[in-house]
Amino acid sequence: MRVKIRNTKFLIQITDGFLKVLRCYVSGKSIFRLDKVCVEQIPIDITERDLSEKIQRTLKSLNYSNNPVFISLPRAQAICRYLKLPTKIPSEIAKIVDLQAPHYLPYQINELITGYEVVAVDVEGYSYVNLVMVYRDLIERYFRIFKELKPKGITASLSSYGLCNLYNYIETGQPYPSMIIDIDANHVESVIVSDKKLVFSRTFKINRSSPEWQEVFIEELNKTQSAYSKDISKEMPKSIIIFSEDREAQRLQDILSQRLSIPLKVYSYTQKLKVSPELLKVAADLGVSVANLLGLALTDMPESVNLLPRELKERRLKTHRRKEALKKIVFVGVVFCMFIIGFNKNIDNKSRYLQMLKVQLGEVSREAKPLEEIEKRIAILESSSQKRLNAVQLIYELSQAIPNGVYLVSIIYNQDGQVILRGQSQELNFAFEFVRGLEASSFFKNFEVNMRYATKKRTRTGESVDFEVICLKR
């Protein structure tokens, strides 16, 4: 079966020492065909110009013709955090993510690019979000490198999502947490997937020429589990999956099975995806993995995890909406013309057509009245919702009022207008400074702010103060 050229995908990853390029054909959810794999060694200190020229030569040999380019961003080039946010509204989540990102890196928000995926939403309306942050300079470097290719579009996704997609495609997604390991030439990426969602990822370097690399490998896996248990969940992974085409994979499985208490399997993705091993021979000979690229080829990623500048994503969204609107207009026009042509064969058909339009107009008029009532109700609901406390504004005002040395551990908002803030401070006067900051805030001008208690306690690192502030709406 011949697949149309417009379904051709070019996937690229640039790591320390290697350039990986895949060309494949995808049609719907059932047809996937890997057509070409190119893996080339490159100097670690290669210049942007030389790298751009090498990529152009490689893609030219693959009959590239301004196709969209899909970039797999190595996990080592991103920072990930797992957040619990007090909202499930997508627009509010996007704003909170932008506000939170600078707290984890010493950069302003305009120097960072963020992506996120909502992993789960609980019954109380809290969203659990996997936040990805990269430096804007890094993404802009990719744009400079690919500028001469003039692609129709660029998509940048974290490599961890590729491994998650590949696992879900092969295992159809297990409800329990599983650890997926991808062994590359000089590094290992480990991700934890639960209920088809990426919840944790980590990468570490290895030297496979060292006789002790397997000991280092096991030690790093234990670190991954410890970090996951501390930051995400106490429910540990129930299985470990290793994606590998390495000839030593079976021997590695035997060693790990003796040292680890979790069931372990080695998957050959060439067999699972029905890919010819000859296509991956060059990668296998170099000890290079293309598993994350295959995963990104299998599934289109949501726009929220696309690591592009926000202004570019908004421009692409507007363009997509205009195209969709134009398609609908053209479709309606074609249908209308077909009706006109068909009914213009004779006068009788014209009369029937006019009568049918009158009937339809009457039906539309009757249907429009309930819609007007619905519109009025929506306006009333919107007016009511504006009177409620805005979660984004609350968090922003707190971030402005909180002084150095004060940390909030919980924020509780009740429907009766009460806000309860609990936190810790290094000194007692810091806590009272925080209260004064709240009282000076325009946001809390209609609140009565009181310090309910402030208690000193001794810790290993010295003294700290636990406090609780209650803000009552007047």
**pLDDT (0 to 100) of residue 348:** 64
**Mean predicted confidence (pLDDT) in 19-41:** 84
**pLDDT (0 to 100) of residue 259:** 80
CATH of 391-473, one of 3.40.50.300, 2.60.40.1510, 3.30.1360.100, 3.30.1370.60: 3.30.1360.100
> In CATH terms, are 5-84+90-308 and 391-473 the same topology?
no
**The residue to which tokens 């490599």 are assigned:** 159
**Mean predicted confidence (pLDDT) in 387-399:** 73
CA distance 435 to 445: 12
**pLDDT (0 to 100) of residue 311:** 79
**Mean predicted confidence (pLDDT) in 419-427:** 89
**pLDDT (0 to 100) of residue 296:** 92
**pLDDT (0 to 100) of residue 176:** 85
CA distance 373 to 442: 37
3-state secondary structure of 141: helix
**Mean predicted confidence (pLDDT) in 99-122:** 89
180 has a pLDDT exceeding 50? yes
5-84+90-308 carries CATH number 3.30.420.40: yes
CA distance 244 to 225: 21
pTM for the full model? 0.67
Of 228, 69, 91, 234, give the one whose Cα is nearest residue 139.
Answer: 69
Mean pLDDT of the chain: 83
**The residue to which tokens 């947490």 are assigned:** 177
**pLDDT (0 to 100) of residue 372:** 64
* Stretch among 152-166, 376-390, 435-449 having the lowest mean pLDDT: 376-390
380 has a pLDDT exceeding 60? no
pLDDT band for position 346 (50/70/90)?
Answer: low
- The count of residues in the chain is 474
pLDDT band for position 381 (50/70/90)?
Answer: very low
List of E strands, 261-327: 264-267
CA distance 361 to 367: 10
**Mean predicted confidence (pLDDT) in 189-213:** 91
354-361 contact pairs (CB < 8 A, 24+): none
Q: Kindly report, residue by residue over 63-91, the tens digit of the pLDDT.
A: 998 888 999 999 999 999 999 999 999 98
Can you give the residue ranges of every domain in the chain? 5-84+90-308, 344-386, 391-473
pLDDT band for position 1 (50/70/90)?
Answer: very low
DSSP-assigned letter for residue 374: H
Q: Kindly report, residue by residue over 290-333, the tens digit of the pLDDT.
A: 999 999 998 888 889 999 888 777 776 676 667 767 777 777 77
**pLDDT (0 to 100) of residue 247:** 65
**pLDDT (0 to 100) of residue 214:** 85
385 has a pLDDT exceeding 50? no
What tokens were used for 190?
């480990």
pLDDT band for position 133 (50/70/90)?
Answer: very high
3-state secondary structure of 416: coil
Q: What Cα–Cα distance (Å) separates residue 134 from each residue in 46, 108, 289, 294, 304?
A: 21, 12, 23, 22, 14
465 has a pLDDT exceeding 70? yes
**pLDDT (0 to 100) of residue 442:** 84
CA distance 374 to 61: 58
Out of 87-91, 253-257, 351-355, 462-466, the most confident range is 87-91
**pLDDT (0 to 100) of residue 389:** 54
23 has a pLDDT exceeding 90? yes
Q: Kindly report, residue by residue over 232-289, the tens digit of the pLDDT.
A: 988 899 989 888 776 667 777 778 888 877 888 888 777 778 888 888 888 888 889 9
Higher pLDDT, 337 or 160: 160
Higher pLDDT, 432 or 320: 432
